A and B are shown apart, each in its own frame.
Chain A
């Protein structure tokens, strides 16, 4: 601040100084550009308002409270055609999130395995992974999604092929899984004396699931206490007490007890009428989106993982080998934890990509947010502007949340400098 005054000539302020005096010129330019930017935005908004007025349309979100009138195939929460457009949008949002979480998890697993294997000294494995990465990341993701969808619907047997005394197709894994051209049916959990549901903000949350998660969480916590006390004893006496049977008991007995108490059993899919009923149906659209997004993004994650591993200096592995660590443990205990610092930031972008790419669901009829709010609702109500703005807002919020969470994780794994 002191610099401004130092070499400045004394004298009164003149207007021309705004342009010719270097002290003020940058402000002039910035204010000018800002005005231009605001004028541009004002022009866009004004244009929109005038065009809406010319079409005789108003701007309102009231349509969200009107009856939607259409059905959705995949419903994580209760919904039918008598619910509102807003509820349909929430169903779509949940479908988007389900798909995003599933695809992020599998893409990470595929990516880490492929990335590590691509560095393998085994020539065949290394080249195979190169082929995987180069094929999948160089073809648009929409094509992969449609390819998976076409394979599912064209080459799998229809449910009618399972019918009759001598059916053309049969169920897999002891008659528990049915693979059809309408999706894959797997056994689903059922509770004989379940705890029912808990309604929060219009969403039904299964108390059974909550109870199960709480019990498992508590077991893991108690198990960690046991392990910590074992380490303490080891540090004090040099002998580590045997804990494996305690861990087993703590981890599994409470969960199994809870499931027995709730009357847990599996419901197997069964061919009834036109379709299989019972169990969980993973529709073609979900499978196509899930596999398509996972294998496509997995190829990018593989490259990120490879770059992260290569960024760790060779001296680290040499040091680990010198200490007698096996290659597998070297990777797990020495290389990967350090590589994570390089891997995590670009990985965030890939998670964001997956989340945004779920909006391709419309291509295979997956009822995500884009298909419900941004598709059918807009089409039935004619609220393009409102629907699209809402859609943009929701994707923005989801992406920002993912960024925040991942940045938090990044802060935990990043290099601590003292």
Chain B
């Protein structure tokens, strides 16, 4: 009897001891698909189209990473997350990468234990109001009721902005963009505030976009970028350089139209290194030599993705502004592929 009790205890202890984990890259390759966290639906950034296929600017990052790692841009499981659930989803390993217009801040980078792998959109927080209110500046908003998504940096910026300007406001906390839109249109709040790009995207889906104005004040810096869990540097590098490859491709003139031709080899050694016909950059990352080619083939270079999802030709109609290449007066500046 004594023996069997011992055996039972031993067996339990053995069960307890089993604890090991592979790297994120190995996990993704073994699974054959990338789990990518996106928003619950912001037109132009991440929203399913009429056929249920996710489309958008943030979605394109997921597709590029999936193409670089797995060679297939469609091998992505999209996990919709709210402002409240996104960090838990990433920290718990439910998603491998979060591409959900998330602002890069020190506390998120350091204290929450994440690594931001770059900036894919330089944004700032703005306000949208009904044109009929006759408001032309955010400084006239004293006493207004403001719809705001909880769990975001916009919530903190808003509190700071109104306090600094000695104004009062009534916050109406809201969980998702769709809910905020409904409340704003019903007149339950005077103002809707979020990143200016998000406001443009939301306004574009209104029945009468012309009835709403986005106020000129941009009250914060919101560098939006994808992020991964801290502690897996290889995976962070893969994400970072996939994003850089998209930006570098635009700078170097690599587009989805001339990609095949350029991949065969060009006179520019940097293009050759990027597309894998020269050097071994892919192997250094633990990927296929043509990883960047696959990533660019997924949706084109950064400029093409921008134009197709949120650019001036789309209903959202955002100008490149800060998000132009550094050669065009913007902030996009990728380190060299060498």
Report A-chain residues with C-beta under 8 Å of the C-beta of B171.
70-73
B150 x A376 contact (CB < 8 A) = yes
Contacts of B319 in A (CB 8 A): none
CB of B140 to closest CB in A, whole Å? 10
Q: B160 to chain A: which residues have CB within 8 Å?
A: 69, 81
Which of A19, A81, A158, A379: most chain B CB closer than 10 A? A379
Is residue A409 contacting chain B, with contact meaning CB distance below 8 A? no
Q: Does A246 touch B at the CB level, under 8 Å? A: no
Please give, as numbers and ranges, the residues of chain B lying within 8 Å of A158 by CB-CB distance.
Answer: 186-188
State A56–B87 Cα separation when bound (angstroms): 15
B178 on the A face (CB < 8 A): no
Alpha-carbon gap, A153 to B187, bound state (A): 8
Separation of A376 and B5 alpha carbons in the complex (Å) = 48
A382 to B158, CA, bound (A): 20
Which B281-312 residues sit within 8 Å CB-CB of chain A?
Answer: none
B113 is contacted by which of A50, A55, A367 (Cβ under 8 Å)? Answer: A55
From B111, B155, B174, A70 is in contact (CB under 8 Å) with: B155
Q: Mark A61-75, 1 if CB is under 8 A from B, else 0.
A: 000000001111100
Q: Residue on A with the closest CB to B135? A: A274
Chain A, range 346-393, C-beta contacts under 8 Å to B: 362-363, 365, 367, 371, 375-376, 379-382, 384
One of B91, B155, B190 near A55 (C-beta < 8 A): B91
How many A residues touch the partner, as a band? 35 or more
Cross-chain contact A376 with B1 (CB below 8 angstroms):
no
A134 in the interface (beta carbon within 8 A): no
Of B108, B142, B175, most buried by chain A (CB within 10 Å of CB) is B175
Interface 0/1 of A216-242, CB less than 8 Å to B: 000000000000000000000000000
Question: With an 8 A cutoff between CB atoms, is A267 at the interface?
Answer: no
B172 in the interface (beta carbon within 8 A): yes
Is the pair B156, A73 in contact by a Cβ cutoff of 8 Å?
A: no
State A363–B132 Cα separation when bound (angstroms).
Answer: 29
Task: Evaluate contact between B175 and A362: CB separation under 8 angstroms.
Answer: yes
Residue A125 at the B interface, CB < 8 A?
Answer: no
B230 interface residue per 8 A CB criterion: yes
Complex CA gap A42/B107 in Å reads 32
- A206 sits at the interface (CB 8 A): no
Asked if A35 lies at the interface with its beta carbon under 8 angstroms from chain B, I say yes
Which residues on the B side are within 8 Å of A87 (C-beta)?
none
Chain B: minimal CB distance from A280 (Å): 14
Interface string of B42-75 (1 = CB under 8 A from A): 0000000000000000000000000000000000
Beta-carbon contact of A371 and B173 below 8 Å = yes
Which residues from B are CB-within-8-Å of A160?
132-133, 187
Contact indicator per residue, chain B 123-140, by CB within 8 Å of chain A (1) or not (0): 000000000110000000
CB atoms of A69 and B156 under 8 A apart: yes
Interchain CA distance A375-B70 in the complex, whole Å: 36
> Is the beta-carbon distance between B163 and A80 smaller than 8 angstroms?
yes
Chain B CB within 8 A of A175 CB: no
Q: Are A379 and B84 in contact, with the CB atoms below 8 A?
A: yes
Q: Confirm or deny: B31 has a beta carbon within 8 angstroms of a beta carbon on chain A.
A: no
For the complex, give the distance between the alpha carbons of A406 and B175 in Å: 36
Partner of A380, one of B8, B9, B142, B151: B151
A273 proximity list for chain B (CB < 8 A): 142-144
Most buried by B among A54, A81, A371, A381: A81
Q: Is A316 an interface residue (CB 8 A)?
A: no
Verify if B338 is at the interface (C-beta below 8 Å from A).
no
A261 located at the interface, meaning its Cβ lies under 8 Å from any Cβ of chain B in the complex = no
Nearest-Cβ distance from residue B311 to partner chain A, whole angstroms: 31
A46, A57, A70: the one contacting B156 at CB < 8 Å is: A70
| Docked-complex contact B19 and A274, CB < 8 angstroms | no
A sample of 11 more A-B contacts (CB under 8 A), given A50-B19, A160-B187, A277-B143, is A39-B16, A55-B229, A71-B171, A158-B186, A182-B172, A365-B150, A376-B173, A379-B83, A379-B151, A382-B107, A382-B108
Query: Can you list the 4 inter-chain pairs with the closest CB atoms, starting with the nearest?
Result: A158-B187, A81-B159, A379-B151, A382-B112
A-B contact pairs, 7 of them (CB 8 A): A19-B1, A70-B159, A82-B163, A160-B133, A275-B144, A277-B143, A365-B173
